[in-house]
Structure 1
Amino acid sequence: LRLTLGDQLRIGDDTFKIRGVITSEPDRTIRAFTLGPRVMISQKGLESTGLIQPGSLIRHAYRLRLADREQVDSFKEQVQRAFPEAGWQLRSWREAAPRVRFFLDRMNLNLTLLGLCSLLVGGLGVSGAVRGYLGSKVTHIATMKCLGASGQLVMTAYLLQIMLLGAMAAICGLTAGAATPFLIKQLTGSLLPIPIVPAVHPQVLLKSALFGLLIALIFSLKPLGVAGNVSPAILFRGYAGFPGQNPGPKIWIAISLATITLGSLAVLTSSDRRLALWFIAGALATFALFRLATQILLRLSSRLPRPSNPSLRLGLGNLYRRGSAAGNALFSLGLGLTTLVIVVSIQANLNDMVTQTVPKEAPAFFFLDLQTHQVEQFEQIARSQPGVSKVERYPTLRGRIVAIDGVPVEQAQISPDVKWAVRGDRFLSYAGEIPPETEIVAGNWWPTDYSGPAKVSITADIAKGFGVSVGDSLTVNILGREVTAEISSLRRVDWSTLDLNFAILFAPGTLENAPQTHIASLHLPAENQEQAFRSITGTFPNLSTISTREVLKNVTRALERIGTAFQGMAAIALISGFLVLAGAVSADQHRRIHDAVIFKVCGATRGNIIASFTAEFLLIGLAAGIISALIGSLASYGITEGLLKIDYQMHPTLIGLTLLTGITLTLFLGLLGTWKALGQKPAVYLRID
């Protein structure tokens, strides 16, 4: 408008002096789209414009501050009971921005999922570390047994050690976790539209400590139970490897009780109890599936024909021979990789959701209040603009849905997520051709020259919320006249493109003679937008023009920050997951070093030994990778579609890279543990054993 401070601006019947320019508003972060420029004037000034008349389309918004936030829900219920037919939209401070709330809810779910996945992966790390530690103490345990120590005493002694270490680790973790919000404020506080006030929450820290200690207890009980059953006779066998026997029914009962306690704590303290329940059920099912798959694969490997290659034959034999740790490695590696596949898949789908929310080719401008007699001239000028690629235009009317399949809306059963459609007037239109980016999911579109009884097409989500389908009817009040139309089709619309479309579209032949205006959109490059804006608004000063460039810039900036947060959380989970996987594989290094020494005594070269271990790790990794890809993909599909409520897209390349990275890392670190022993003379280890 080429205005500056101090200039005069006429609004309706009155003239106002510009006293300031709005550069930013806190509540703009919760509004992705606003029709028309923002103007702030006093209540008295608004009344002097003469814009508020009987029949004017105006929305009133009241903001109430209650003394007690806990009274918000009860206050909403009182208002709804007192004014059941008012059609008001009541939102608490938790619901102020539905679209932003959608992203925040997904972020909260993602945080919860990552936390639960981290618990599972951390448990695997605890199990591997405890098994490796106790494996190095087998001779000590056998000596204690020879001196009269009972299995219970052995378990208690080492359990105290492990829980003490767990408590020390919990203190370190709590300190780092409590300090993180303060660090984030220093690093990113200026990027947020509102200040954040970090604080230390003792209840949250206590809950985290309980989770950590319970995980340490659950995943260390089995190796502790096995350690308690170590036989003193091991001292007389020359090599004391960690036994692979069953820990006994008492240990399994203790593990079950601790698991129930952990699950109950997770459900009771989770922000989404349904998600926690599903995760626990999925984790238990995954444990059972991997245990079953491990047993099946080990049995199958024992029945495969022996390869002619000695290294491959040794690697295959290591999977099923007595005392083999392949079962533990396959189980731990498979569960860890499954968790990583789930994290990566969910993260990729969340990224897709964020990036697809911002259209790549959005219209440059929307034009409102285009009059019927201006349509032809407008289209001529719009299409003549340099760089223009598309011009869209639709007639628009305002109407209110008053009946659904003959039932008044006050009596109809309407899903809460589509009640917005019956609150007040809605934009309607009519068209002969199906709009772009639209998919017919039920029924058929009418002919372009249709002229029969009134028909209407509505979006599939509204139809589902209304409980109607093709063949039912919809009654709309348009300027005091009720129009009942048959629902001829249901559509799925991609609203993210910002192309013109309508939730309710009538067939031709019904609304053409009703008073109406038009809405249009214009697609053209950024370098031509200013010229087009001046040309069109100069010719049609009555148009309300909306530039999408600034709107999309703000939305993109907000979504990029959300996406960065998603990626940061996933990166932390992946890094910790890879480290835990490496620890799980290295837990049995003592046994592999012993095997390597025996091989060298029998004449095997370093290359032969490395080749056999490589074959063993590759076979374990391949089996774990295939099972992890299947189970992880199914689990991520259920989570994204069922819990996150977003469309699932499989990312095979990303899943493959995750599996390859995890398997390669575990293979490298697993072989690295035996490399030192391979470089020394066997006599060093023979004297020890």
Structure 2
Amino acid sequence: MALRDAKASKVRLLLFMASIIMGIAAVVSIQLFSSNLKDNIQSQSKTMMGADYIIDSKQAPTKRAQAIIDSLKPDATEVNFVSMVAFPKNGGTKLVKVRGLEGSFPFYGKIKTEPLSASSAYQESSGALVDATLLLQFNLKPGDSIKIGELTLPISGALKSIPGSSAISSSVAPPVIIPYRFIEATELLQFGSRKEYQYFYKAPPTLDLKQLKDEIGPKLDFENSDINTHTSATERLGKSFDNVGKFLNLAAFIALLLGCIGIASSVHIYIKEKLKAIAILKCMGASRLQSFLIFLIQIAGIGMIGGIIGSLIGIGLQTVFPYLLKDFLPFTLEISISAQPILIGVLLGLFMSVLFALLPLLRTWYVSPLDVLRVDEKASQEPRKIRYLVFASILVFLFIFSFWLIKNALYALVFVGATVVTFTLLAIVALGFINLIKRFFPKHWSFTARQSLLNLFRPNNQTVVLVVAIGLGTFLISTLYFTKDILLSKTEVGQTSQNANIIILDVQPDQRDALAKNLIGKDLPVLNNIPLVTMRMHSIKGNLVNALRQDSTRQVRSWLLNHEFRTTYRDSLTASEEILEGEWLARLKSDDPVIISISDNLAADANLAVGDAVVFNVQGVLMETTVGSIRKVDWSQMQLNFTIVFPAGVLEQAPQFNVLTTNVPDETSSAALQRDVVAKYPNVSIIDLRQIFTLVEDILEKVSWIINFMAFFSILTGIIVLIGSVRTSKYQRIKESVLLRTLGAKNAQILKISAFEYLFLGLLGSLVGIILALISSLCLAVFVFKEPFSPSIIPFLVFLPGITILVLTIGLSNIQTVLRSSPLEVLRREV
């Protein structure tokens, strides 16, 4: 009987199945991708690092640190730093990451080069391995030369990849590998140079890396060094991609929730149409259980089929994500199909279809044989306790499923709560609209207008169901769109002649004035000439940093205890700064107490307030300071910002170096400036922000594509839900439209009645949905993202008319049968 009835109602049930398919496809594709990502990170953990563990230090290791390093007998050593290089063949210059290697690194994975022999031969031939993309950009090939500071080496080969690096880091500063023994000859490691020493180890199989890290980690931490094992590195990488996965899971959950709405609304109207048939079955002797099972089997079967189809689509879709995220991953992602997400998809299709269809299905249990004569809106109502129990089950399911996806109970609770509040508000608006029409019914309107309004509150009306379905779908889609704008709004960087697009780093004091004159001589502005002084914290509020490192109960973040701060001094605030607490002091006299200004994030991490004392170690000299003000810093602006700023009159005589910024009009001017500066001052580094802009735009384009891809999923699911809900509702109006035709109504009048009804429903549902999305997105911006909210007008210009027109179009298509056929023919067909 379930099969026979399904065949007779296949159009309505196919739309119902489509709601399931899209939600399941979104969840399965993302779950498969997340599963593949975790498996790849786990299996390739050593290959990603190239070693079992690494000890690194931002400066030359101290004696104690060096003793620990030597006692473990490193198998390879590296010093790396960022610097400008020149290519004598064509005069080109480029900011690169120079890596001086010694030993047999990597121990896992390979250095891939062209030719293949260059990966090992460069050490014996005293050559350099240069990033392959860099060689293409400057039209270079093996055999040409590269100038690094005062050192010129032949290019041994093109570097394609090396363990531990990703496409993004290589795009900002492409790697250049040279033998370790030539680092000193470059003469680039001067005062203030940013450099890193790394020592690579291949551990015996019996060594417990976690125990090793627990034993020597604190000792190295005390000496401003660090140990990283391949297992801890992969944990950090996994956590960073967990955030991506959580967002995608949340977007998939929205698509799935839309599918659930489609199920609930479609089955609600579908079962109402079947009540008379069920009453007839009971008159013929069918039991409650039989009539209930007929439709339960039908819905469960469709749910399982939808789950299978959705899972198969999800398998195909998950191959898109590795392509989009390939530049973010330091390894090649291998795709494999696991059974768990597919099984989850099938079970999810079965469970959610039955659960969300359960309330209307229960009405079949309470249909009386007498209802064959008096089926109306009040008939066959299930007990209130049963209704509340089903609602509670749905809420528990939503909470458990959202918690499983986003792994945060509070966020899951808030998300489900927000959905319930939205659902309730939409239902209240729909009921309020019905009562408003009843109370202020326009009796003097035309017949067609009055008839369409009457349809909104007559028995068998679909106002609440459709307004909730349309409104909730629009709400979720619009919220996703507004959230996308919040996420991407801070990434837009305007380039004007007042903004720096060239940053010149590591300028020594004796080079500062000459370099500034050089820029002015080329008709380029010196936008900033910022002095930098390096220092470390010696004590915080009277507590020595060395003691704080050993204190497990400290309220100070660990990164501060080893961090080398690059501070500056000036007599004014910049456009990206705002005083939150205290008072800004522009200048101090030589005998005044030293008052500093710190950023709000530093104040939070160091547990500092205005008036607290901090002692700094400024290259061996202790300086007592007091926090005078706390600043809010807009770190998103493309300019140099600082956590610590001293007033003028304090650090002028301290060892320091400078950063100069300028603005060049075009790429040709940028290349000419870089060639000239590197030739005269080989120790300085130049960052061309044009390249950064291009890279960031490319990354954001991929991120935006992923967000839009998931938004598309939600929108497509929402459209299917609308089609299913509105299309199924056509059986509500066929009999009334036939009766109107029998009484003499013309096709044009029936068309107008339906058009007005669906226009009211589409406009009301979509408008309320967008307004609620606006409110919820404002709350997300203020309380979650803590960013200013500038709502897009797109949902009002596109979603509002688009969804309204969609509802109207589907609604008008519902009565085409009535318009094309005679009343008797239609009535016979429906019976």
Partner residue, 2:369: 232
CA offset digits 1:205-233 (Å, max 9, x no partner) = 22222322221012111111223333434
> For residue 608 of structure 1, what is the amino acid of its counterpart?
Q
Q: Kindly indicate whether the alpha-carbon contact (under 8 Å) linking 2:145 and 2:152 is maintained by their aligned counterparts in 1.
A: yes
Q: Cα distance, 1:424 vs. partner?
A: 3.1
CA offset digits 1:586-640 (Å, max 9, x no partner) = 2221111222222223333333333333332233333323432233233334445
3-state SS, counterpart of residue 19 of structure 1:
strand
Q: Kindly indicate whether the alpha-carbon contact (under 8 Å) linking 2:220 and 2:226 is maintained by their aligned counterparts in 1.
A: no
Partner residue, 1:351: 488
Counterpart-to-counterpart distance in 1, 2:462 and 2:721:
17
Point out where structure 2 has 5 or more consecutive residues left out of the alignment.
Answer: 1-85, 90-141
3-state SS, counterpart of residue 496 of structure 1:
coil
Check 1:531–1:472 CA distance in 2 against 1; reply closer, same or farther (3 A cut): same
Counterpart-to-counterpart distance in 2, 1:664 and 1:542:
65
Check 1:15–1:109 CA distance in 2 against 1; reply closer, same or farther (3 A cut): same
TM-score by length of 1: 0.87
Partner residue, 1:432: 571
Partner residue, 1:287: 423
Partner residue, 1:394: 530
Counterpart-to-counterpart distance in 2, 1:63 and 1:298:
73
Counterpart-to-counterpart distance in 1, 2:328 and 2:563:
38
Q: Kindly indicate whether the alpha-carbon contact (under 8 Å) linking 2:519 and 2:525 is maintained by their aligned counterparts in 1.
A: no
Partner residue, 2:334: 197
- 1:500 paired with 2:640, answer yes
Counterpart-to-counterpart distance in 2, 1:67 and 1:337:
58
Q: Kindly indicate whether the alpha-carbon contact (under 8 Å) linking 2:506 and 2:657 is maintained by their aligned counterparts in 1.
A: yes
Counterpart-to-counterpart distance in 2, 1:594 and 1:74:
77
CA offset digits 1:475-508 (Å, max 9, x no partner) = 2210112222232332233333331222211001
- 1:468 paired with 2:604, answer no
Partner residue, 1:512: 652
Counterpart-to-counterpart distance in 2, 1:431 and 1:17:
44
Q: Kindly indicate whether the alpha-carbon contact (under 8 Å) linking 1:345 and 1:651 is maintained by their aligned counterparts in 2.
A: yes
Partner residue, 2:37: none
Counterpart-to-counterpart distance in 2, 1:574 and 1:207:
23
Give the alignment of 1:324-335 within 5 angstroms. 324-335=461-472
- 1:443 paired with 2:582, answer yes
3-state SS, counterpart of residue 319 of structure 1:
coil
> For residue 435 of structure 1, what is the amino acid of its counterpart?
T
CA offset digits 1:54-105 (Å, max 9, x no partner) = 998642335668899xx88776555545555344456676986999989845
Counterpart-to-counterpart distance in 2, 1:127 and 1:113:
21
3-state SS, counterpart of residue 61 of structure 1:
strand
Check 1:328–1:461 CA distance in 2 against 1; reply closer, same or farther (3 A cut): same
CA offset digits 1:146-202 (Å, max 9, x no partner) = 112233321221101110111111111112222333576689979977422111111
CA offset digits 1:102-149 (Å, max 9, x no partner) = 984553232111121112100111123323433443332121021122
CA offset digits 1:293-337 (Å, max 9, x no partner) = 433333333222425323332232222223322121122222222
Q: Kindly indicate whether the alpha-carbon contact (under 8 Å) linking 2:460 and 2:732 is maintained by their aligned counterparts in 1.
A: no
Counterpart-to-counterpart distance in 1, 2:718 and 2:468:
15
Counterpart-to-counterpart distance in 2, 1:174 and 1:648:
37
* Percent of matched pairs sharing the same residue: 24
Q: Kindly indicate whether the alpha-carbon contact (under 8 Å) linking 1:342 and 1:636 is maintained by their aligned counterparts in 2.
A: yes
- Equivalent of 2:742, from 597, 601, 613? 601
Partner residue, 1:120: 257
CA offset digits 1:401-442 (Å, max 9, x no partner) = 2233333344387778x6434423121110112223333333
3-state SS, counterpart of residue 320 of structure 1:
coil
Q: Kindly indicate whether the alpha-carbon contact (under 8 Å) linking 2:532 and 2:658 is maintained by their aligned counterparts in 1.
A: yes
Check 1:100–1:442 CA distance in 2 against 1; reply closer, same or farther (3 A cut): farther
Point out where structure 1 has 5 or more consecutive residues left out of the alignment.
Answer: none
> For residue 650 of structure 2, what is the amino acid of its counterpart?
T
- Equivalent of 1:304, from 440, 457, 470? 440
Counterpart-to-counterpart distance in 2, 1:219 and 1:39:
59
Structure with the larger strand share:
2
More deviation in 550-559 or 457-466?
Answer: 550-559
Check 1:283–1:246 CA distance in 2 against 1; reply closer, same or farther (3 A cut): farther
Counterpart-to-counterpart distance in 2, 1:342 and 1:491:
32
Check 1:78–1:61 CA distance in 2 against 1; reply closer, same or farther (3 A cut): same
> For residue 3 of structure 1, what is the amino acid of its counterpart?
P
Q: Cα distance, 1:49 vs. partner?
A: 6.9
Check 1:103–1:599 CA distance in 2 against 1; reply closer, same or farther (3 A cut): farther
Q: Cα distance, 1:580 vs. partner?
A: 0.9
Check 1:101–1:531 CA distance in 2 against 1; reply closer, same or farther (3 A cut): farther
- 1:211 paired with 2:331, answer no
3-state SS, counterpart of residue 537 of structure 2:
strand
Q: Kindly indicate whether the alpha-carbon contact (under 8 Å) linking 2:248 and 2:710 is maintained by their aligned counterparts in 1.
A: yes
Q: Kindly indicate whether the alpha-carbon contact (under 8 Å) linking 2:466 and 2:726 is maintained by their aligned counterparts in 1.
A: yes
Counterpart-to-counterpart distance in 1, 2:378 and 2:348:
29
Q: Kindly indicate whether the alpha-carbon contact (under 8 Å) linking 1:138 and 1:242 is maintained by their aligned counterparts in 2.
A: no
3-state SS, counterpart of residue 678 of structure 2:
helix
Partner residue, 2:14: none
More deviation in 43-52 or 132-141?
Answer: 43-52
Q: Kindly indicate whether the alpha-carbon contact (under 8 Å) linking 2:259 and 2:721 is maintained by their aligned counterparts in 1.
A: yes
Check 1:205–1:621 CA distance in 2 against 1; reply closer, same or farther (3 A cut): same
Partner residue, 1:457: 597
Partner residue, 1:277: 413
3-state SS, counterpart of residue 60 of structure 1:
strand
Counterpart-to-counterpart distance in 2, 1:522 and 1:99:
37
More deviation in 274-283 or 52-61?
Answer: 52-61
Partner residue, 1:375: 512
Counterpart-to-counterpart distance in 2, 1:312 and 1:218:
38
> For residue 465 of structure 1, what is the amino acid of its counterpart?
D
- 1:581 paired with 2:581, answer no
More deviation in 201-210 or 530-539?
Answer: 530-539
More deviation in 592-601 or 509-518?
Answer: 592-601
Q: Kindly indicate whether the alpha-carbon contact (under 8 Å) linking 1:372 and 1:517 is maintained by their aligned counterparts in 2.
A: yes
Check 1:539–1:125 CA distance in 2 against 1; reply closer, same or farther (3 A cut): same
Partner residue, 1:177: 314
Counterpart-to-counterpart distance in 1, 2:379 and 2:237:
52
Partner residue, 1:143: 280
More deviation in 5-14 or 109-118?
Answer: 5-14
Counterpart-to-counterpart distance in 2, 1:187 and 1:453:
54
- Equivalent of 2:267, from 109, 130, 140? 130
Check 1:289–1:582 CA distance in 2 against 1; reply closer, same or farther (3 A cut): same
More deviation in 116-125 or 255-264?
Answer: 255-264
TM-score by length of 2: 0.73
> For residue 87 of structure 2, what is the amino acid of its counterpart?
R
Check 1:368–1:188 CA distance in 2 against 1; reply closer, same or farther (3 A cut): closer
Partner residue, 1:547: 688
Partner residue, 1:486: 626
Q: Kindly indicate whether the alpha-carbon contact (under 8 Å) linking 1:182 and 1:198 is maintained by their aligned counterparts in 2.
A: yes
Check 1:344–1:220 CA distance in 2 against 1; reply closer, same or farther (3 A cut): same
Counterpart-to-counterpart distance in 1, 2:596 and 2:703:
38
